[in-house]
Structure formats: structure tokens, C-alpha cells
Amino acid sequence: MTSATDTGMDGVPVHGRRALALAYGLVLLALAGGAAAIAIFGHAPAAWLDLPPPPAALEHNAPQGSALTPPPAAIAKLAPVPLLGSGPITHPVYAGHALLADPALIENTDDGPLPRIADDGRKPMTAYAVPAASGKMRIAIVIGGLGLSAEKTAHALAGLPPGVTLGFVPYESDVQRWVGEARMLGHEVLLEVPMEPFDFPDSDPGPHTLRSGLGEESNTERLTWALTRFTGYVGVTNLMGGRFLSDSDSLSPVMTYLTRRGLLFFDDGTAAQSAGPDVAASTGAAFAKSNENIDSIQTALEIDRHLSNLEDEARAHGSAIGSGYLYPVTVQRVALWARGLSGRGFVLVPISAMITAQK
């Protein structure tokens, strides 16, 4: 029973009144703290929960933009990639089960590891190649632009199936790590060599660009610089290059040099006046050219149309090659398209499976 001394004039117990006053005080203190934070920082403070991604988020074939696409940090932690270091390569280096560097296929230079044909005749274009699945109707897809943006590169590696060949730009210092990730995930790799476009320098592929009229010695020096940026690639492809590819006098020494180094050349098909097929025939270069640039217009509808064209080409001739860039929509559409490819009677193969030695 409550005594008169335990209640106020309104009949509320004193201990209840004190508890209520304390609660009001805490609320006012919290409101004051929030107001102070807004005054200082310009917005209300937010809270985050650092939760790990669900296991499904690491599914390799998740299309770009879906809930299954892992963040770049998730890709970076998939598996450790061996670092080659800055010194000479003296022993074979593997990324998982994939060969990343073989000293027998490398000439160690001051600039870095330069590919060469081994003393026993082995070539980088075969040693670093990915085995191709057998099938009557083969399609190869080459996606370029990797290595410049860590986020886009990680998403491309997460979204694209292993059968897709990947082209890496040689400019960033961590490109070898990304190439190691790609090889570990089963991708074949190309080096993108910067070549002069028609509107150079308005469009500039970057330092060490191969240029028409520059001369064989200067272009060879620039090409060698690109070739020494990383290891594990089967050959090179053009980064831009409309003008350079149309100049057979400038292109011929490049293809000859690549052939002597045991490398293939892939023409991505974006240069309308490319002399690549004729120069490859005259120099005996291992060469392939894209039939279809799949994302010249970056919409799902247009990309799907070009992928369908590749299927028609493969039905008619047994093989077809497409090229594209690591746009998010390209990664997404290629990933979805590839899932149903075998059910339609096609096989996805690396670019080395499409190479023909012209001579």
C-alpha cells in the first residue's frame, strides 16, 4: 500500500515520476545530440552494418547488375595471385592451375619479361592458351578494356564465363594481378597494344602508341614496351588503331615481330579499312579477325541482335568471332546469352582456337 509521502499531489507515485523525468531527459539529450551532428556535418549521422556477402554473391556466372554480382573486393579475395616481382623470372609461375609465366618462354629485359619462342619450339600462343571444347559450331567472344578500372574489371571477371577471351590494357601498375585473376578463372588473355586512330590526337590511346610513318625501329620499341607489361597472354589485339591498321607498310613489321615472338594477332574488327588479313597472309602471322562488333550501340536489344548474328554465321560457316568492350550491359548480355549456348548446339571457345597460321 502506498503512503501519502510516496505520492504527489496528482496521486502519481514519486518513484514513477522520477523514472518518467529521467526518460524525458534521455530523449531530449538524444535530440540535442542529433541536432548538433546535423549542424556540424550537414546531415544526420547514419549507421552501417558490415555484413559479409551471401555465398551466392560469389557465383562466377552472375550477370552484371544482378543481385549475384560481387563487389570488386570479393573478386580480389577469391584466391591469391602470385606476384612476379620486378626481377628476372627464373621459375614457372601459376595462377591456380593456369600457367602465368614460364622462364623458357621469356626473355628477361630491363623493361620486363618479353615473350619469346622457347628453345624446344614452344610458343606463348600455345603455352598460355586455354583448351577449347569440341563442337561443330564454334563462337569466340573477345571483350577488351580490362585493367583500366578496378571496379569494371572485377565485375567483368565476375560476370563473364571462362570461355570469353579478355583483352587487357597495359597502363596500370596492377594489371598483372588482374591478368592472374583472369587466368585463374579460366580465361584466355590478350594484350591490347595502343595503335593510332584516324582522329589522333583527338582520340589518343595513350603513351607508346604505334603510329603510321613513325618508322619500324620506333614502333618496335613502343611495341616492346607494351609486351613487357605483364605475362600470360597468347597474343595481342589493337587498342583503337584505325589509321595504323590501314597502313600495311607500318603493320607488316609489327606482325613479323609478333610472329618471331610466338604470338598471335587478333583484329577486333573496328577498323573498317584494316589491312590485317592481307598483311597476315604475306607475313605468315597467326591471325584472326572479328566478324561482329557486338556493342557499337550499347543497348541490350542491339547486343542481343549482334550475338544472334554470330550464331547465324556459325551455323553457316562453322565458326564466328565477336568483339566488344566491358560495358556493364555487354557483360550482362554476353553472360545471359552464353548460358543457353550449348542447348542451341554451339560451343564457346577462346580466340586461340580460331587462329589460322596463314603460311
The per-residue pLDDT for 268 is 98
Render pLDDT for 325-340 as a digit per residue (tens, 0 to 9). 999 999 999 999 999 9
The overall average pLDDT reported for the chain is 83
pLDDT tops 70 at residue 237: yes
The per-residue pLDDT for 47 is 27
How far is the first Cα of the chain from the last one, in angstroms, to the nearest whole number?
109
pLDDT tops 70 at residue 16: no
Please report, rounded to a whole number, the percentage of residues in the chain having pLDDT higher than 90: 73
The per-residue pLDDT for 54 is 30
Comparing 7-11, 202-206, 270-274, 347-351, the range with the smallest average pLDDT is 7-11
Which class would CATH give 57-357?
alpha beta
Highest mean pLDDT of the ranges 3-7, 78-82, 310-314: 310-314
Render pLDDT for 34-61 as a digit per residue (tens, 0 to 9). 444 434 333 333 222 222 233 332 233 3
pLDDT tops 50 at residue 69: no
Distance CA 230, CA 225 (A): 10
The per-residue pLDDT for 130 is 97
The per-residue pLDDT for 72 is 45
The per-residue pLDDT for 87 is 77
Phi-psi region of 208 (alpha: psi -120 to 50; beta: other; left: phi over 0): left
Average confidence (pLDDT) over 192-212: 96
The per-residue pLDDT for 156 is 97
Where in the chain are the domains?
A: 10-41, 57-357
pLDDT tops 60 at residue 275: yes
The per-residue pLDDT for 82 is 59
The per-residue pLDDT for 83 is 59
Split at pLDDT 50, 70, 90, the class of 88 is: confident
